[in-house]
Amino acid sequence: MPIPRPDPQGARVIAHVDLDCFYVQVEQRKQPELRGLPTAVVQYNSWKGGGLIAVSYEARKFGVKRSMRGDEAKMVCPEIQLVQVPIARDKADLNTYRNAGSEVVSILSRKGRCERASIDEVYLDLTDAAELMLSETPLEILEDFDEDVLKSHVLGIAVDEDKEKNVRGWLCRSGADHRDKLLACGAIIVAKLRSEVLKETEFTCSAGIAHNKMLAKLASGMHKPAQQTIVPSSAVKELLAYLPVKKMKQLGGKLGSSLLNDLGVHTVGDLLQFSEEKLQELYGINTGTWLWNISRGINGDEVEGRILPKSHGCGKTFPGPKALKTTSSVDHWLNQLCEELSERIQSDLDQHKRVAQTLTLHARAFKVNDMESRKKFPSKSCPLRYGISKIQEDAKKLFDSGLREFLGSESNVWKVTSLSLTASKLLDTPLGTSSILRFFQGKISSSAASDGTQKGIQDDHPSASLGCKGDIVSVYNDGQKLSVAEEYGKGNDINFQDTRVNRLHSPNRKSKEKGKDSITRYFSCGNSSSRKQAFDGLNVTNQQGGGCEVDERGSADDRTHRQTDDSWTLNAENVDPSVIDELPMEIQQEVRGWLRSSKRINSAKGGSSIFHYFSSINN
Ligand code: TTP
């Protein structure tokens, strides 16, 4: 559901930068002899020459489109160069494209807050940089404009033969208001960034410069390739008056259809005839206000300051005769996907110290004897455990659980047409704590998933306590864009509600919610045996020489703590503080809390029991 945010006080300068025919440019950089030639990147399958996923602007002139297959493209443009996407593990390998996108992001982030919105799209908040430029250089006296700035398209100004002169006039006109002056500075900064991108990466990109994200995004696609478009406030009304509703982000689906069919609204500007109250009455308070806002070009969404992906995903589709019909074929592909996912989350952990918390499986399937059935294969989530074999084990359990639910009591023959896995809820780990965080994940997971039961597996829909919206996967027919769209949160449709993991990691949560928060809540949930199980891995060793060891060893076999019946003895005096210092801050606070209580109990009774401590919290 769209969330209405009023434009903040004070003008902002926001840019949306989008690389041109991105995969083609990456392939042309690898093979420079392809530059300037009509080129397309094709999906790896060989049916009718493979599906086109990116088309160069030279090929577009011949009428080549992304929806075509290679053979069809050759018919409309015989000289087209078809390049295959790289393949790894029998599926498309997008790493080259991801890395190329990261090169661009690192350049664009030089001038302001930067949000990586997809594999090839970035939002920039250039407000501070523009204000600074304006305070240092009055635009009226500027003479030396970069050629790229003068080629900008400024919506609303006359486009006659001397366009560059008009643009120059707009950029440095003396009567301009502050908002327009900021946009002019934004345009100068963006043109410079684009030329740096070209020089350093050889990629061209296009950009929109406006006062908010929504308008910047609309503008970046208006003039492509290698151009930029500026949206002054005075041009917004006309821009929206002609903008078909379906072109607006979040109006492509049911909401847009309802506007069209139920209200006869064809363009975003048509919405202006409805009062806010009327729109709220028809579509609810939030959506109503959001519609009222967008029809006036109001959008207060912040540029998020995120240059790393929100999640990692990989998927594969099995169209037509390729549909998977046996559990062994599903297992085979899940194993491949898990290997890729594991590699990617491990590299994220190594490079960026981020730990993924949630594993989600999405699938598409149908019942062979019940083709009419509209029932969807439910998406399933569970806490993510690191290590290929653990991810594989959990992914299979998620699939089995989904399949059971999908089939219900019927023993139907099924076919799976797409599989995808997502690792989400990527949290930063303070330096040195990754092993401990992984330990916590491992424990949550093992108590949830590896005991052979369905514990810990969650339906993946908004009402579930863990996971993301069931409809986040918009599977492109090649299964490729799926992962990247998801990764960078394209479309704002990832809505995680991972309450359990938040309890462990969110520093903002009050840690004393009647004594049942974060670790203690986790440990104290369930019956005493699950509490015991949860605590097993924490390997609290009451060593002879003193010291409390907290490490990853957690299996029942290598337990080194002393256990008597259902209690663990802990001598708080002997706890090595450096071990606690390794924990994330919020967990440190809690562990220190335990120890304080433990000391109090110790001094009162001459001994303590963590297990009893947890029991007392629970009671
Ligand atoms: P887009 O930005 O949608 O398109 P583009 O960069 O190819 O072309 P344009 O200049 O019009 O922006 O997608 C970025 C890349 O994502 C694209 O080069 C290939 C990939 N992609 C897919 O693999 N499958 C898809 O269905 C789409 C839409 C894109």
Nearest alpha carbon, ligand 1 atom 15: 22
Q: Residues lining ligand 1, CB < 6 A?
A: 18-23, 53-54, 119-120, 224-225, 476, 478, 480-481
Domains with residue ranges and CATH for the chain? 23-86 (3.40.1170.60), 243-301 (1.10.150.20), 311-428 (3.30.1490.100)
β-pair partners for 113: 125
- C-alpha dihedral (23, 26, 27, 30), degrees to nearest 10: -170
- Mean pLDDT, range 217-230, rounded to an integer: 97
- Up-side HSE of residue 140: CA atoms within 13 Å toward CB? 6
- Helix axis angle for 528-536 and 610-618, nearest 10°, is 140
The per-residue pLDDT for 523 is: 36
Residue with tokens 């930068």: 17
**Closest by Cα among 375, 445, 572, 476 to 53:** 476
Find out whether the peptide bond into 225 is cis, omega within 30 degrees of 0. Answer: yes
Distance 443 CA to ligand 1 centre (A): 40
C-beta separation of 496 from 424 below 8 A? yes
Residue pointed to by tokens 């970046």: 220
3-state class (DSSP) for residue 42: strand
pLDDT value for 591: 56
Confidence of residue 516 (pLDDT cuts 50, 70, 90): very low
Closest CA to 447 of 368, 514, 508, 537: 537
Higher-confidence position of 593 and 535: 593
Half-sphere exposure of 143 toward its Cβ, with a 13 Å CA cutoff? Answer: 0
Q: Can you tell me the mean pLDDT for 472-489?
A: 34
- Tens digit of each residue's pLDDT (9 = 90 or more) over 393-448: 999 999 999 999 999 887 778 999 999 999 999 998 865 444 455 555 544 444 44
1 CA from centroid of ligand 1 (Å): 25
Q: Tokens in use for 214?
A: 């929504």
* Alpha carbon of 431 to ligand 1 centroid (Å): 36
Q: Give the residue-averaged pLDDT of 504-525.
A: 36
pLDDT at 371: 72
> Which run of H or of E encompasses 348?
helix 327-352
Q: Rounded to the nearest whole angstrom, what is the distance from the C-alpha of residue 488 to the centroid of ligand 1?
A: 14
C-beta neighbour count of 381 within 10 angstroms: 30
CB atoms < 10 A from the CB of 462, how many? 14
pLDDT tens per residue across span 171-195: 998 889 999 999 999 999 999 999 9
Which ranges constitute the DSSP H helices of 125-273? 127-136, 147-150, 163-171, 178-201, 213-220, 236-241, 254-263
Q: Give how far Cα 492 sits from Cα of 301, 485, 488, 500, Å.
A: 11, 10, 9, 22
d(CA 194, CA 599): 61
pLDDT of residue 460: 64
How confident is the model at residue 395, as a pLDDT?
98
Q: Which of 222-236, 248-262, 325-339, 427-441 is predicted least confidently? A: 427-441
Q: List the structure tokens of 60.
A: 């577009």
Predicted TM-score (pTM) above 0.75: no
CA distance 565 to 519: 23
What does the alpha-carbon distance between residue 613 and residue 604 come to, in Å, rounded to a whole number? 13
Summary mean pLDDT of the chain: 77
pLDDT at 375: 86
Residue 121 designated active-site? yes
- Which residues lie closer than 8 Å to 85 by C-beta, 6 or more apart? 23, 41, 42, 43, 44, 53, 92, 93, 94, 480
More confident residue, 317 or 552: 317
Q: How far apart are CA 324 and CA 312, in angstroms?
A: 24
Counting ligand 1 atoms within 8 A of each CB, the residue from 23, 205, 218 with the most, and so the one to mutate, is: 23
Question: Over 60: is that where the pLDDT of 541 sits?
Answer: no
Q: What is the mean pLDDT of residues 83-94?
A: 90
Of 27, 58, 115, 121, the active-site residue reads 121
> What is the predicted pLDDT for the residue at 117?
94
Strand 354-367 relative to strand 414-428, pairing: antiparallel
How many percent of the chain have pLDDT more than 70? 69
Q: Among residues of the chain, what percentage have pLDDT more than 90?
A: 56
